[in-house]
């Protein structure tokens, strides 16, 4: 049995209940995909790692080791570094709540 809904003029079948929502649903899905991509890429704060000091100039291997470690960083990791490595979070000065 055929159920005709929202028939217009001589249209035999009418208009679907979902048809008017297709564009809105597509936009919602695209928004959700974009949000997921954004969180994947930007969930971790960018970190500047300063390796060495005036009296302790690091070699290329030490720099590459720190770079490779930070490249594989996940959101559930904590870091411990030697005295000659200083790590700073970039871009959040004055933009986050102070938990103290």
Spell out the alpha helix ranges (H) of the chain: 22-42, 60-71
Residues 40 and 28: their CA atoms lie apart, in Å, by 18
pLDDT tens profile 5-24:
777 788 777 777 788 889 99
Tokens of 63: 């720099």
> Does residue 4 or residue 68 have the better pLDDT?
68
Tell me: do 7 and 31 sit in the same domain.
Answer: yes
Give the residue numbers spanning the domain of 21.
Answer: 1-43
Q: What is the pTM of this model?
A: 0.42
Contacts of 16 (CB under 8 A, 6+ apart): 5, 6
Tell me: do 48 and 77 sit in the same domain.
Answer: yes
Q: How many domains does the chain have?
A: 2
> Is residue 77 assigned to a domain?
yes
Tokens of 18: 């979902």
């Amino acid at each position: 049995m055929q159920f005709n809904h929202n028939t217009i003029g001589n249209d035999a079948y009418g208009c679907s209940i979902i048809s008017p929502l297709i564009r809105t649903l597509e936009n919602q899905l695209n928004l959700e995909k974009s949000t997921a991509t954004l969180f994947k890429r930007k969930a971790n704060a960018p970190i500047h790692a300063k390796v060495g000091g005036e009296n302790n100039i690091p070699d290329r291997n030490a720099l590459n080791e720190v770079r490779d470690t930070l490249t594989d960083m996940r959101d559930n990791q904590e870091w411990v570094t030697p005295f000659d490595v200083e790590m700073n979070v970039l871009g959040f000065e004055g933009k986050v709540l102070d938990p103290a």
